[in-house]
Amino acid sequence: MSETIISYRNVTKSFGSNRIYRDITLDIHKGETLCIIGGSGTGKSVMMKMLVGLLEPDAGDIEFFGQSIVGLKPHQWLDIRRRVAMLFQGGALFDSLTVGENIQYPMIEHKWGDKSKREKRVSEVLEMVGLGKIEDLYPAEISGGMKKRVALARAIAVEPEVLLYDEPTTGLDPISIRRINGLIRNLQERLNVTSMVVTHEMPSVFTIADRIAMLHDQHIAFVGTPEEAKAIKEPWLADFIIGGEGVLKEENG
């Protein structure tokens, strides 16, 4: 079995009276693509936000490369956030910055190279995501699919070890969905990154996942390969996979 680099241990989380998790326990292995699935409001994106310090668990522990990240002070997150990059659902590009400036933003934040090195890196990562010389364009001048790829280029610019994708194909046309799915697999192989992907689109899951983890009834109810998931007969998983909530409902959880 590959090295475990991220561990959730007995994690609980509530928002007011709304309990999201009663016990999340999950290991994520180096170099794999793990897809997180589940119904609306089950807390899929919350798992990612806790990993980068945007949210704190109420109880339990989260380890990153053997280090507990629960209760870290703001300055202690700097190294974690250099090693983990998150691709937000909407891309989160800065409208007032060019494509090149958007991609350079995390490099400047993390003091990654000088101006010449950063500009060279912009060209490299744009090439990795299949885009040409669009550094001088603004987000408003490119398509939705291109924005997603620019956001992905920005995420990999500082050479992270872990990539977090929050609904990476939501709102895209079928051609763009296939392109993004192909990039997720290609970057895993090319950069040897570990990827966590939150999605409700099961065709994408079966294209990109090495393993699947399903959130159900406030805990991780299933972890396994896509083939193992297809063989499970429990309605809460089988119905999701066959086509119900997993394909038809757009959700924010």
Looking at the DSSP assignment, which residues form a beta bridge with residue 13?
21
d(C-alpha 156, C-alpha 162), whole Å? 9
d(C-alpha 75, C-alpha 119), whole Å? 27
Condensed to tens digits (0 to 9), the pLDDT of residues 126-184 reads: 999 989 889 999 999 998 888 989 999 998 998 899 999 998 888 888 888 888 899 89
SS3 147: helix
pLDDT, residue 243, reads 60
HSE (side-chain half, CA atoms, 13 Å) at 103: 35
Is beta strand 59-64 parallel, antiparallel or unpaired with respect to 219-224?
Answer: unpaired
Q: Do residues 14 and 57 make contact, with C-beta atoms less than 8 angstroms apart?
A: no
d(C-alpha 34, C-alpha 48), whole Å? 12
pLDDT, residue 40, reads 78
Sort 125 into a burial class: Cβ within 10 Å, 0-12 / 13-18 / 19+: buried
d(C-alpha 84, C-alpha 193), whole Å? 10
pLDDT, residue 90, reads 64
pLDDT, residue 242, reads 75
Q: CA 156, 61, 42, 192: dihedral to nearest 10 degrees?
A: 30
Domain boundaries, the chain: 4-248
Q: Do residues 98 and 140 make contact, with C-beta atoms less than 8 angstroms apart?
A: no
**CATH architecture of the domain covering 4-248:** 3-Layer(aba) Sandwich (3.40)
The secondary structure element, H or E, covering residue 113 is none
DSSP alpha helices (H): ranges in 96-251?
99-109, 115-128, 144-156, 174-191, 202-208, 226-231, 235-242, 245-248
d(C-alpha 22, C-alpha 25), whole Å? 10
pLDDT, residue 79, reads 83
pLDDT, residue 8, reads 97
Q: What phi and psi values does residue 19 have, to the nearest 5 degrees?
A: -85, 125
Below-70 pLDDT ranges, the chain:
1, 90-91, 243-253
pTM of the model: 0.86
Sort 248 into a burial class: Cβ within 10 Å, 0-12 / 13-18 / 19+: exposed
Q: Do residues 13 and 57 make contact, with C-beta atoms less than 8 angstroms apart?
A: yes
pLDDT, residue 246, reads 43
